[in-house]
Structures are given as C-alpha cells and as structure tokens.
Amino acid sequence: MIKIPLSEPSIDDNDKLAIISSLKTPHLTDGPKLRKFEEKFSKITNSKFAIGVSNGTSALFLSLLGLGIGKDDEVIVPDMTFIATANSVLDI
C-alpha cells in the first residue's frame, strides 16, 4: 500500500485558510510570507541563505547552478520521475 499517494493532494483546512489569506494581499509571489518561509528554512537547514521559488523545476535548476554544474558535466537522473527532473539538467 502506498502511504503517500502520488496523485491525491493532502490539503487540510489550515492550508485552505493560508491560501485565502494570501489571496487577500497584493503579494501573491513575493511578499512577507515568502520571507518568513525563507528565514525559517535557513534556520532549520543551518544555512546562511534560502530562496523560495515557484516550482520544483526552478529549485532543481538553481540547485545545479549552485553546485557549479555546467553544460558538459554528467548528471544522472532517475528513470522513473517527473520530466522536470531531466528538463532542469537540459536547461544548464
């Protein structure tokens, strides 16, 4: 039995309230909630900086850049994954 469904989102009432709260502000993509998330994430990971991005593809792409991965470097990705995993490597 799959404990984490791959196609069924887990969204509770707190998530819905947070979304509604964000929709009522002028900051949908870059605002105080993102800054708060970045601060908490950097503390949890004991890192100097944290950057929140809009999706996993952007996160993977920036991670590759941060690691210094370049055009001619070999990057191995899983064969059973979302296409964004490979696309983030192709964009380098």
| Mean pLDDT for back-to-back runs of 10 residues, the chain (92 residues) | 73 94 86 92 95 91 94 91 89 82
Task: Report d(CA 39, CA 11) in Å as an integer.
Answer: 23
0.85 surpassed by pTM: no
Residues in Cβ contact with 62 at an 8 Å cutoff, skipping those fewer than 6 apart? 51, 53
Question: pLDDT value at position 59?
Answer: 93
Residue type at position 40: K
